[in-house]
Structure 1
Amino acid sequence: MLGDVPEEDGLTPVQNLTITFLVDNSIEWMTKLPPGFSHEMNVHLRDQKPPIDPLTGVPIADIENYCCGAHGFAVLIDTRASADAPAHRTLFDTGPDSKSLVRNIASMQVSPDSIERVVFSHWHADHTGGLLSLLALRSAEAAPLPVDVHPARPLARGIAPPSMGGAVLARIPADPSFSEIAAARGAVERHAAGHAVAGGTVWVSGEVPRVTPFEGGLIGSVRYTDEGEWVPDEAITDERYAVVDVLGKGLVIFSSCSHAGIVNVVKDAVAAFSRPVYMVIGGLHLAGVELADRIEPTVAFLARAGPTYVLPMHCTGSNAKIALEKEFGEGCVPAGVGHKVVVEGDASFDARLAQPRLT
């Protein structure tokens, strides 16, 4: 299916949210995690059926087949509105290449046919590059997989660092085209506006309002035009975030690269749903010398917004992670590929939830 889709309204709160990180830059097996969080090793040795060593009779840590890290992002979002409601499975982004997502899906024992929808956060290959390999994994009997995208797919994008005087250093690899997706049995759905998916339990935003002065987009980003020219493209206006509302806890916000600015993303989500923020998850794009001055005001804003947990991943950068850990302590969780998070809702606490804090 190729074409514009009628938008749905509203966001249904969920009783259960399970998050599985299928692609990220980092692998973390040993750091202490909060309740509800599981290391990849625990998933393999506790939740799966690990191979048994014939010599000693104990399970083998089968590292040959565990997850691999890659510069990109993909997260599986499982939602259930209530105990007797159907479960929904949404994949937010697909990582950078034809290898990492495929390997990690096999490692985490995720059935490709169980995925109901793929959502692209934006058109950058480190978020779209695994799609065609995922579609190839699905069985011939599976229905075409909806692929939820912003309609403004660029012809090409590149990197032109200011330190190089604006010269284009490299082109970013091509995103899958609409025709390639359709040929691989993906059903393209183009959405410029915010809309609910997964039975109303996941909200996919529209374009993020840019209201924070210090969040100036992706410095040095350029795109290639039909006229054969490279032009500035720092705003990355096709970027979208996803959000889930957990009963009794608040919003879980997935912003896989935050080119729009994580402050703008959180402000937009809270304005849309008037709910406190429980988790902020994904790439905060604060890495690199050019973006260092954004770290302090970003951390200060998140401290005021008051999420219980911040999971800085992908393109956040080590300096920003250190600053977030200093501010949030154990609330800054070193999440990585292979981790699983289970968030259980509790409707009895909803009446006592604090109002959102964004001042």
Structure 2
Amino acid sequence: MSTLIKKVDKLTITFLVDNTIEWMTKLPPGFTHEVRQHLAQKGHGTYDEKKCVPVLDFENFCCGAHGFAALIETSVEGEKASHLTLFDTGPDSQSLVRNIKAMQVPVERITRVITSHWHSDHTGGLLSFLALRSSIIESTRQRAACIVDVHPDRPIARGIAPPPFDKVICAIPRDPTFEEIKNSGGDLEEGSVGHSVAGDTIWVSGEIPRKTDYEVGLLGGVRWVVKDSGSGSWVTENHIMDERYIVVDVVGKGLVIFSACSHAGIVNVVKDAVDTFKRPIHMIIGGLHLAGPESAPIVPKTVRFLSTDLKPAPAYVLPMHCSGFHAKVALEKALGEGCVPAGVGHKVVILGDRAIDDRLPATAY
């Protein structure tokens, strides 16, 4: 059994950026819709004295955006303080900041941001988040640093060359530079190998081994490369090798895997996590990158692995961001209510159980 990270007794997740807004679909125990959270907030909306009911304030609800960001709070029994960590920051300067305000997130308590990889739908909100945090820290006269945990291989630019892959149609908005992150108040930490953070309650992966023959990366991915001569050109980059996933181990439940975009393939991600921790998978969260017609052959193989080949199967899969409609339908058919329609504004609370941890089944695939 791995001792790379501590087992946590409570894991709380709030989705702050996702493509989907979902207010009404039935959710499993421990999941809370955004609306119910607002009803419990102080200062949200108004109260209609005549009708004796609160009035929702739609100006202060979360917005959807093509990207991902999750606030992760980890708590260990016997330790005084929990740890708040932000995983990815969405695509732009507005969506994460708006949604943080809507969910009344205690920004000053977030002491680390982890970026999954260098694509701006995951890093685009980083500088605006740091600016918001700095303004709050200054107003409260606190002195809490915020570490920004990134992979060192930041590209000059990345672009898209869709099938038939013979023409680059656009560049993706550039990621923040290291200098911009520092100037915005982030304490930069570069990491290309696996490491534990947040009081050893979160594992940040290193390079993800490519084991399957059907998960072929980001078809149409290109990268701008500058030669020694100073000239530059687009080169094919299907394998986004700077991508990282993170893991939290909940006592009595098993691993919760966050894979923001799964360019490596979610099967490769899960296999690496199982090989590393020798623990069952409780929940898989994030973008599975199975959208688009080029991913159609991969969907049934992925669903079969997660629902049948992986033993035991995960209790829950939350296909978000870039997972795609067809993958969600296929996962729901295979996993039933184990496939959760998660979206921005949802909160998930997972409580551990130390009494049954030793009885968790071994994992195989």
Tell me the TM-score normalized by structure 1. Answer: 0.95
**2:206 match:** 206
Q: Encode CA deviations 1:307-342: one digit per residue, 9 max, x unaligned.
A: 000000000000000000000100100000000000
The reply on whether 1:328 has 2:335 as its aligned counterpart is yes
**2:65 match:** 70
Pairing 1:263-274 to 2, within 5 Å after superposition:
263-274=267-278
* Counterpart AA for 1:208: I
**Contact 1:15 1:83 (C-alpha < 8 Å) held by counterparts:** no
**1:125 match:** 120
1:41 is matched with which residue: 16, 35, 47? 35
The reply on whether 1:10 has 2:4 as its aligned counterpart is yes
1:230 is matched with which residue: 215, 230, 234? 234
The reply on whether 1:185 has 2:180 as its aligned counterpart is no
Cα pair distance change 1:142/1:99, threshold 3 Å: farther
Tell me the TM-score normalized by structure 2. Answer: 0.94
Q: Secondary structure at the match of 2:256?
A: strand
Q: Secondary structure at the match of 1:225?
A: strand
Q: Secondary structure at the match of 1:59?
A: strand
* Counterpart AA for 1:166: D
The reply on whether 1:307 has 2:314 as its aligned counterpart is yes
Take 1:348 and 1:341, find their aligned partners in 2: how far apart are those partners? Answer: 22
Cα pair distance change 1:48/1:37, threshold 3 Å: farther
Q: Encode CA deviations 1:56-111: one digit per residue, 9 max, x unaligned.
A: 33111111110000000000010011154420011000000000000000000002
Q: Encode CA deviations 1:201-221: one digit per residue, 9 max, x unaligned.
A: 000000100011100000000
**Contact 2:260 2:287 (C-alpha < 8 Å) held by counterparts:** yes
Q: Encode CA deviations 1:264-299: one digit per residue, 9 max, x unaligned.
A: 000000100000000000000000011111000000
2:74 is matched with which residue: 69, 79, 100? 79
The reply on whether 1:174 has 2:174 as its aligned counterpart is yes
Take 1:116 and 1:94, find their aligned partners in 2: how far apart are those partners? Answer: 14
**Contact 2:111 2:145 (C-alpha < 8 Å) held by counterparts:** no
2:358 is matched with which residue: 341, 351, 358? 351
Take 1:189 and 1:73, find their aligned partners in 2: how far apart are those partners? Answer: 21
**1:150 match:** 151
**Contact 1:275 1:356 (C-alpha < 8 Å) held by counterparts:** yes
* Counterpart AA for 1:80: S
- Unpaired segments ≥5 residues, structure 2: none
Take 1:189 and 1:226, find their aligned partners in 2: how far apart are those partners? Answer: 25
Take 2:50 and 2:58, find their aligned partners in 1: how far apart are those partners? Answer: 18
Take 1:17 and 1:285, find their aligned partners in 2: how far apart are those partners? Answer: 25
Pairing 1:156-167 to 2, within 5 Å after superposition:
156-163=157-164, 165-167=165-167
How far did residue 55 of structure 1 move?
Answer: 4.5
Moved more, 337-346 or 59-68: 59-68
Percent identical among aligned pairs is: 60
Moved more, 9-18 or 255-264: 9-18
**Contact 1:113 1:142 (C-alpha < 8 Å) held by counterparts:** no
Q: Encode CA deviations 1:106-145: one digit per residue, 9 max, x unaligned.
A: 0000022110100000000000000100011122344331
2:109 is matched with which residue: 104, 114, 131? 114
The Cα RMSD (Å) is 1.2
**2:298 match:** 294
Take 1:184 and 1:268, find their aligned partners in 2: how far apart are those partners? Answer: 34
**1:6 match:** none
* Counterpart AA for 2:331: L
Q: Encode CA deviations 1:3-61: one digit per residue, 9 max, x unaligned.
A: xxxxxx81100000000000000000000000000000111113555331354331111
**Contact 2:111 2:144 (C-alpha < 8 Å) held by counterparts:** no
2:51 is matched with which residue: 44, 56, 59? 56
2:87 is matched with which residue: 92, 106, 109? 92
Aligned length: 349
